[in-house]
Amino acid sequence: MAGGSINYNLHFVLFPYYESGHMLPMVDIARILAQRGATVTIVTTPAGANRLKPTINRATIEAKHKIQLLELALPLAEFGLPEGFEDSKLISHKTAEQQLTLYRAMESLQKPAEDLLRDQLATPPDCIIADFFFPWATEVARKFEVPRLVVHGQGCFSLVCLDVIAVNKIRQGTESETEKMVLPGLPDRVEVTKLKIRGRSSTLSKVDFGMFTYACMQAERAAFGTLVNSFKEVEPEYAKKLQKRRGSTTQVYCVGPVSLYNNNKDDDRGSKAAIDDHYCLQWLNQREAESVLYVSFGSVVPVSTKQSIELGLGLEATNKPFIWCVRTKSKQLEEWFSESRFEERVRGRGLIIHGWAPQLLILSHPSVGGFLTHCGWNSLVEAICAGVPIVTWPIKWDQFYNEIYMVQILKIGVSVGVEEALYSDDFEDMEPLVNRDSIKTAVNRLLDEEHGIVKECRQRVRKLAQMAKGAMAQGGSSYLSVSKLFQDVSDFRRRRRRAQENKQGE
């Protein structure tokens, strides 16, 4: 991304949520702000600080960015949770009840956060940027008389869809779980089913997140603005729609794709890869251009043992080279790998990474021709930036909306055909939702050259990749959005100081 600092001498304080899909984009945002001349303070837990220190140290030493880390411990023991529970690297799966308990622990941070901002900062904040899951940040910003910006792990399209669903109470009613419903008032025809937006009634979590979610939504509507890791060219109509739905008092800033800040593709961004980068590159270098399928379900999405086995058998049946990132393994899955000798069967064609994968490095390699993904927004944006078409396999949350946007609207991928969201603490005992034949069919549709769809998908996603780079370059849409953010925060500070002077003069 091109440089060009703005000398407003602003101080941004960031509160990232603790999961990788939220924390890593927030760190990229911190570096973007610092590159433009701001001082940035990131407030996180001791576990989060340990994870981020290598990345922040590189930014402060190599790029001379003004970024500091401050620690704010979660009172986990008071809520019956073990130390480090917030870190998805340490605790890969949380039940719904545990997740809600974690949110309650996070809610207790408001007073400690206020004390930290008052006592440990050399200069007071000019703006607080906090994840959606910190509703109290809006009140903290009000007390310090600074703007609060909300950060989501989603794009404009899914945020608009969720807003439409909430306003029109589409989750409620007695309609069939499989009946298709058209979301009203959107530029495109968007059909959803209750099965996709909330899962089966029989497997839906019994834990009610309603009050917490409502508090987060109300806090966002009272906030100064929303930061979105997206760029206007990829969601033009929905960026406008989101701004319209937020109203004139809440600004929407599309500042992405923030992952493009990482020119160094082997930057582990705070997580050590489970495979040597050099070996991974050697393996990829031996494959033909655009022939390899990369498979990853992100850092926190659960995949059962039976479903993982079915996935492995489906990948084997494709006869295509693949890299499969297996983030977590149950004892049963480990036994299957050992007893089936799966890795020996696919040796030479399949590379299994047991743990964290260097995703940016893999996606940017010329031999990668497709990405089988859970449709997390960060992964999709990274695929677009790399110009790699996708096979969509959504699990829950915003992922089904993302699939609709990628497959039906952008037309840069194919679906494996998942029909229901998985919201259950008993997912490990469930039968697979996708069988090996569906996996084989979807992968071959995307990677077989005789299918016209692969050429069209590649053309579209490569065009979007160029747009993404242009958005982040100096003068691009996202670059200008960051400039507007600086100007708006500076204007806010100027108005506040003028009001304080007038009050003192009365």
Alpha helices in 226-358 (DSSP H): 236-246, 277-285, 305-318, 331-340, 342-345
Kindly state the greatest CA–CA separation across the chain. Answer: 82
Q: 398 near 404, Cβ under 8 Å?
A: no
Q: 378 near 229, Cβ under 8 Å?
A: yes
CB atoms within 10 A of CB 51: 23
Return the SS3 of 504. Answer: helix
Closest CA to 73 of 42, 114, 23, 112: 112
What is the CA 249 to chain-centroid distance, rounded?
Answer: 26
Q: 187 near 209, Cβ under 8 Å?
A: no
Q: What pLDDT score does 266 carry?
A: 46
CA gap 464, 39 in Å, rounded: 32
| Domain 277-468 in the same topology as domain 11-169+224-262+474-505 | yes
Question: What would the mean pLDDT of 248-261 be, rounded to a whole number?
Answer: 91
CA gap 198, 63 in Å, rounded: 44
pTM score of the predicted model = 0.92
CA gap 46, 423 in Å, rounded: 30
CA gap 410, 395 in Å, rounded: 20
Q: Which residues contact 382 (CB under 8 A, 6 or more apart)?
A: 257, 259, 359, 360, 363
Rounded percentage of the chain residues whose pLDDT exceeds 70: 92
Q: What pLDDT score does 19 carry?
A: 87
Q: 442 near 457, Cβ under 8 Å?
A: no
Quote the DSSP letter at residue 355: S
Return the SS3 of 43. Answer: strand
Q: What pLDDT score does 210 carry?
A: 83
Q: 125 near 13, Cβ under 8 Å?
A: yes
| CA dist 266 → 115, 119, 271, 273, 468 (Å) | 38, 37, 11, 9, 20
Quick one: 11-169+224-262+474-505 is in which CATH superfamily? Glycogen Phosphorylase B; (3.40.50.2000)
Q: 223 near 151, Cβ under 8 Å?
A: no
Q: What pLDDT score does 219 carry?
A: 95
End-to-end Cα, the chain, rounded Å = 47
Domain boundaries, the chain: 11-169+224-262+474-505, 277-468
Q: What pLDDT score does 433 carry?
A: 87
Q: pLDDT, tens digit, for every residue of 24-60?
A: 999 999 999 999 999 999 999 998 998 899 889 888 8
Closest CA to 73 of 63, 81, 65: 81
Q: Bridge partners of 390?
A: 371, 413
CB atoms within 10 A of CB 152: 23
């509703």: which residue's tokens? 135
Q: What pLDDT score does 1 carry?
A: 46
**Which region among 62-66, 120-124, 357-361 has the lowest average model confidence (pLDDT)?**
62-66
| CA dist 283 → 101, 323, 348, 389 (Å) | 43, 10, 9, 21
**Extended beta strands in 355-502, E state:** 368-373, 390-392, 413-415
**HSE-CB for 205 with a 13 A CA cutoff:** 20
Q: What pLDDT score does 425 carry?
A: 65
CA gap 150, 133 in Å, rounded: 9
Return the SS3 of 324. Answer: strand
Q: pLDDT, tens digit, for every residue of 203-238?
A: 556 677 889 999 999 999 999 999 999 999 999 999
Find the helix packing angle between 436-447 and 305-318, rounded to 10°. 40
Q: 457 near 410, Cβ under 8 Å?
A: no
pLDDT band at 92, cuts 50/70/90?
low
């990853």: which residue's tokens? 296
Q: 49 near 71, Cβ under 8 Å?
A: yes
Assess whether the previous peptide bond of 257 is cis (omega < 30° from 0).
yes
Q: Exposed e or buried b for every residue in 366-405, given b needs 16+ CB within 10 A? A: ebbbbbbbbbbbbbbbbbbbbbbbbbbbbbbbbbbbbbbb
Quick one: 277-468 is in which CATH superfamily? Glycogen Phosphorylase B; (3.40.50.2000)
Q: What pLDDT score does 7 carry?
A: 58
Burial class (CB in 10 A: 0-12, 13-18, 19+), 207: middle
Q: Is the pLDDT of residue 273 over 90?
A: no
Q: pLDDT, tens digit, for every residue of 335-345?
A: 999 999 999 99
CA gap 232, 62 in Å, rounded: 31
What tokens does 233 get?
Answer: 């060219």
